[in-house]
């Protein structure tokens, strides 16, 4: 365990102090740590035993590049970029505002619902927050919403992007733990819907405490409400086909991602929002984001090999077994570690650093890895709005330059509390996550 802990300390040093990108930091520590486990030093750098570390690293690179199931990542990213370009965010906000905008705090509620719908296609929390800030903030300011409530509903609603399927984070977790991606997608649906409901309750709480924070908007007649739905039918059908096909086993997640990307392309063409320039931007952004994710994943897998070779998961299990505590106490200790790490790391980095260490322990304690994946993603969501490094908050601060990050952090507190309640419910009541996977696949 000592070797693994030293490696982990060096990794944190490289990331936090030296500021080396996490993909390279994990790759460097994993490679040299693996080599050190074979008794290699800088005095014998030409020793043939370097072959083991080089072989391990090159195998990880080649296997990841050739992994068929990983093609789901660029395809879902492409689908999200195409849908974003087609103007879905405006249509979703208009539709949800038509039904909720006339209530107290209704525009914030509409923002949360629109964020949930948009993130279901986009799959990125940061992109959801940045996009919805431009769409939802002007009307909320028009009706006199407080900056705290307005920005908090966008920041919190954006966190739904990494849980509601299709989710790139769930795909990466599935690959790291060799867990069924379609079961993870099924498991994320109910917790995602629960998150939306609790966020709506948080908005109601805020306007109950301070009615001036969220005045009523304009009330539309039913014909106008139905008309507002016209712009979202195409995307709703696309989402139903993609996720329904996965849930019913009609096609694999990779095939679903291909169908989703093709369908999103058709929607963008039908709305006449694509030009050659915008298509080039979409493709280059997809390639850039995919390359970044693949690089981080390769680094994480190399680091995982070192951690496993050092025996950290086995030593951790032995240590926990010696404590003679209930398995659920161990889970809550892991969650506390995630909450603390969430104050320093962004979501993907935290997931890749910790899952290779924790999932063998959780599995050996008899917990379901699909359930644990949803728990991990929910606690990772919380990190997106947790000070001092809440990535969604800083994205909003960059987009809305006249609003301080401290204002957003103050406003997001009720939503953070709602997330804690959801985390406790999902942790203590496993069927919330496992009902759909067990109904469909087990």
What per-residue confidence (pLDDT) applies to 389?
A: 67
Residue 334's closest CA among 307, 303, 365? 365
DSSP-derived 3-state class of residue 40 = coil
Low-confidence ranges of the chain (pLDDT < 50): 48
Give every CB contact of residue 370 below 8 A, 6+ residues apart in sequence. 179, 180, 183, 184, 187, 433, 434, 437
Residue 370: the pLDDT is 93
pLDDT digits (tens, 9 = 90+) for 36-76: 776 655 555 555 456 677 777 888 888 877 777 778 888 88
pLDDT of residue 36: 78
pLDDT score, position 43: 54
CA distance 261 to 237: 13
Task: Tell me what pLDDT residue 347 has.
Answer: 73
Distance CA 248, CA 262 (A): 20
CA distances to 379, 382, 424 from 375, in Å: 6, 11, 9
Structure tokens at 375: 């728990």
Q: Please tell me the predicted confidence (pLDDT) of residue 203.
A: 93
C-alpha 19/C-alpha 16 separation (Å) is 5
pLDDT at 267: 84
Q: Is the sign of the CA dihedral 174, 263, 122, 153 positive or negative?
A: negative
Contact (Cβ atoms closer than 8 angstroms) between residue 32 and residue 49: no
Q: What is the largest CA-CA distance in the chain?
A: 79
Q: Which residue has the tokens 């709480």?
A: 205
* Residue appearing with tokens 């659920």: 328
What confidence score (pLDDT) does residue 48 get? 46
Q: Tell me how far apart the alpha carbons of residues 159 and 67 are, in angstroms, rounded to a whole number.
A: 28
- In terms of Cα–Cα distance, which of 16, 220, 212, 239 is closest to 102? 220
For residues 305 and 59, the answer to whether their CB atoms sit within 8 Å is: no
SS3 call for 85: helix
Say what the pLDDT of residue 39 is.
63
Whether the pTM exceeds 0.85: the reply is no
pLDDT in tens, 153-195: 988 888 887 788 777 888 888 888 888 888 998 898 899 889 9
Instruction: List Cβ neighbours of 13 (8 Å cut-off, separation of 6 or more).
Output: none
pLDDT at 121: 72
Classify 278 in phi/psi space as left (phi over 0), alpha (psi -120 to 50) or beta: alpha
Residues 41, 50 contacting (CB under 8 angstroms): no
What 3 state SS string does 371-404 have? HHHHHHHHHHHHHCCCCCCCHHHHHHHHHCCCCC
For the chain, the straight-line distance linking the first and the last C-alpha, in angstroms and rounded, comes to 37
Using CA atoms, how far apart are residues 257 and 260, in angstroms rounded to an integer?
A: 5
């Amino acid at each position: 365990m000592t070797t693994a802990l030293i490696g982990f300390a060096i990794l944190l040093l490289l990331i936090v102090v030296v500021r080396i990108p996490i993909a390279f930091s994990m790759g460097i520590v994993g490679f040299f740590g693996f080599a050190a486990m074979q008794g290699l030093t800088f005095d014998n750098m030409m020793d043939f035993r370097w072959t083991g570390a080089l072989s391990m690293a090159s195998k990880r690179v080649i296997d990841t590049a050739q992994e068929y199931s990983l093609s789901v990542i660029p395809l879902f990213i492409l689908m999200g970029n195409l849908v974003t370009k087609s103007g879905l965010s405006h249509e979703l906000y208009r539709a949800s505002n038509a039904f909720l905008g006339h209530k107290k705090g209704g525009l914030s509620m509409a923002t949360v619902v629109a964020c949930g719908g948009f993130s279901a296609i986009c799959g990125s929390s940061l992109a959801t927050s940045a996009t919805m800030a431009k769409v939802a903030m002007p009307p909320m300011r028009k009706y006199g919403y407080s900056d705290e409530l307005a920005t908090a509903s966008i920041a919190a609603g954006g966190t739904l992007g990494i849980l509601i399927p299709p989710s790139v984070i769930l795909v990466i977790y599935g690959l790291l733990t060799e867990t069924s991606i379609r079961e993870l997608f099924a498991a994320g649906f109910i917790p995602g819907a629960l998150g939306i409901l609790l966020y709506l309750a948080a908005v109601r709480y805020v306007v109950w405490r301070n009615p001036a924070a969220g005045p009523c908007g304009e009330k539309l007649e039913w014909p106008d409400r139905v008309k507002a739905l016209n712009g979202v039918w195409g995307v709703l059908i696309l989402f139903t086909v993609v996720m329904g096909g996965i849930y019913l086993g009609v096609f694999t997640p990779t095939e679903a991602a291909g169908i989703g990307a093709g369908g999103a392309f058709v929607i963008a063409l039908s709305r006449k929002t694509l030009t050659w320039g915008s298509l080039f931007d979409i493709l280059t952004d997809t390639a850039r984001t995919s390359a970044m994710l693949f690089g981080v994943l390769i680094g994480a897998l190399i680091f995982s090999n070192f951690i496993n070779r050092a025996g950290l998961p086995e030593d951790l299990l032995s240590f926990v077994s010696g404590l003679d505590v209930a398995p659920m106490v161990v889970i809550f200790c892991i969650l506390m570690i995630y909450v603390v790490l969430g104050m320093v790391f962004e979501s993907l980095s935290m997931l890749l650093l910790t899952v290779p260490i924790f999932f063998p322990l959780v599995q050996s304690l008899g917990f379901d890895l699909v359930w644990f994946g949803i728990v991990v993603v929910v606690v990772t969501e919380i990190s997106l709005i947790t000070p001092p490094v809440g990535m969604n908050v800083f994205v909003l601060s960059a987009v809305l330059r006249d609003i301080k990050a401290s204002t957003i952090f103050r406003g997001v507190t009720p939503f953070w509390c709602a997330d804690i309640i959801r985390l406790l419910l999902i942790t203590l009541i496993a069927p919330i996550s496992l009902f759909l996977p067990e109904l469909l696949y087990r």
